[in-house]
Amino acid sequence: MKTIAQFSPYDYVGKLMDVHVPGYEGYPGGQVSISQYLSANSMFGGNSKAAVLNAAFNRIVHAHNETAVTSQTGFARVFTGQGSRSNFAAAMSIINRYSDEFRAVRDLAKYFQAQDFLQAMVDDHCFGLDCIGFVGTYLVEASLEDNYVGRRPLDYTAVFKPVKSLDEVTDCSVVMLTNGMHVQIIDTVNERGNGYITVDLCQSTSGGPQCNLGVTIRSGGGDYLPVETFRQALASRQYSEQHAADNAQRQNEGKPPRDYETYLRALLTKHNTAFGFAGGAIFTITGTGEPRNPVSGSVYIGVAPGGVSVRVP
């Protein structure tokens, strides 16, 4: 990975809010904001509305021999929460060009009641970014990586080495929940204190791509999920009998059932642990900041070897 970013994570949030679609008149300047969270993972809402748009999109593109658009590298990620700005603009240009045909699709007609129909599609989660898509596309668009890599959150430890102390945390460090379910990136470390730092944090989560200013991260350990053991048990379903017994007990106690993965996470998670995956220290990121950070909990923090600096214009 390269060490000079062409712009900061904070700047990237701004760029996502200002995607320009050539020829679009729904909003002055053809501006559309990628302002929503979208994930193809059913655990995080799925992408059913985006899938409807994608099906219509593929049909109309082929009818007009516009397949040069869909053959662009990574284009399919536009509808799964991990698209690039250029591919968002390309997809939206097609929708604008053939708007009458998209309007004729029953499940899409409602968006065209608005003059700014492309933004209406974004607002209803036809387009958006998930946490992985946000960090992954930032690394490519800021020229830190040459190609997009669809990593799971804890896979970022391969290029951002987990630190053992808050003293090691720098700007553009990656923050990963220890349960492997979310990834964020630090824009700036603002303050260092005794056992804590405050940072400006960038991510895509509920509320879409955003920057949360002044979020506190504390040292002192936290929850630890042994990820390799968890992944093996998830694939093999070796705890299926225990899971069934657990749900039977929950039913007797009047509690709702929980799926196998949720049960497995609860079963294997250890608490008050200082170090975990890849030897990284475990910290606590808080629900503080302005606007407040929506995703708090136990985290690892990874720093790129040599650090990352942002190019000064």
For the stretch 176-230, pLDDT in tens is: 999 999 999 999 999 999 999 999 999 999 999 999 999 999 999 999 999 999 9
- pLDDT for the residue 213: 98
- pLDDT for the residue 36: 98
- pLDDT for the residue 73: 87
How far is it, in rounded angstroms, from Cα 103 to Cα 106? 8
Q: Which of 218, 216, 177, 212 is nearest to 292 (CA)?
A: 212
pLDDT tens digits for range 82-99: 999 999 999 999 999 999
Question: Cα(first)–Cα(last) distance of the chain, in Å?
Answer: 21
pLDDT band at 313 (very low <50, low <70, confident <90, very high): confident
Region 228-250 average pLDDT:
97
Note whether 187 and 7 are within 8 A (CB).
Answer: no
In a 3-state reduction of DSSP, which class is residue 99? helix
Region 116-125 average pLDDT:
98
What's at 150, amino acid-wise?
A: G
pLDDT score of 2 more than 80: yes
pLDDT tens digits for range 259-309: 999 999 999 999 999 999 999 999 999 999 999 999 999 999 999 999 999
pLDDT score of 167 more than 80: yes
